[in-house]
Structure 1
């Protein structure tokens, strides 16, 4: 599961739908893997406005990456700042969570990740 994907996931438990604590899901005991992916500045510039920057900063810190700036870079700043471009590319496009869990900050439910695939099926008492 790419780190980019975490920015679009929220807890599936019905009682969490109205809570802001259910986003982002927090990685726990995450085993990371790196894929070599060619850098595409235009793709990153197009993806950035669609991301929740605060959630990305939280995820980045929890996974042990360098802290991101308070505000997302503009597309122009991103293409001009090679270091920031490389860091965001590495975090979003190359980093995968292969094993571990995603934990909801509201209800504490843990979604298992095995072989890079998260299991979002809920037990019947949580549906």
Structure 2
């Protein structure tokens, strides 16, 4: 599961839908893998406006990645390149969670990640 995907997921428990704590899901005991992907500044430029920057900073910090700046880089900065662009590319495009859990900050429910696939099926008492 690519870390990019984590920026678009929130807790599926019905009582968490209205809580801001249900996003982002927090990785726990995450085993990470890195794929070599060719840098694509155009892709980053198009994805960046769709990301929740503060959630991305939270996820990066929880996984031990270098601190991202307070604000997202501008499209010009992405085209120019630099350390932040390299860090973003590595974080979003090359890093994936292979094994571990994703934990809701509201209810504490843990979603298992196995072989890179997150299981979002809920037990009947949480639906």
TM-score clears 0.5: yes
Aligned residue-pair number? 127
- Which residue of structure 2 aligns with residue 26 of structure 1? 26
SS in 1 for 2:43: helix
* Pairs within 5 Å for 1:10-89: 10-89=10-89
2:2 maps to 2
- Partners of 1:64 and 1:21 lie apart in 2 by 21
Q: How does 1:114-125 map to 2 (within 5 A)?
A: 114-125=114-125
With 72-81 and 33-42 compared, the bigger mean Cα shift is at: 72-81
| TM-score calculated relative to the size of structure 2 | 0.98
Aligned-residue Cα RMSD (Å) equals 0.6
CA distance in 2, matches of 1:74, 1:110: 35
Which of structure 1's runs of 4+ aligned residues deviate more than 3 A? none
Q: Which ranges in structure 2 are unaligned for 5 or more consecutive residues? A: none
What is the rounded CA distance, in whole Å, between the counterparts of 1:76 and 1:38 in structure 2? 19
Q: Deviations over 1:64-117 (max 9, x none)?
A: 000100000111012223211111000000000000000000000000000000
- What TM-score do you get using the length of structure 1 for normalisation? 0.98
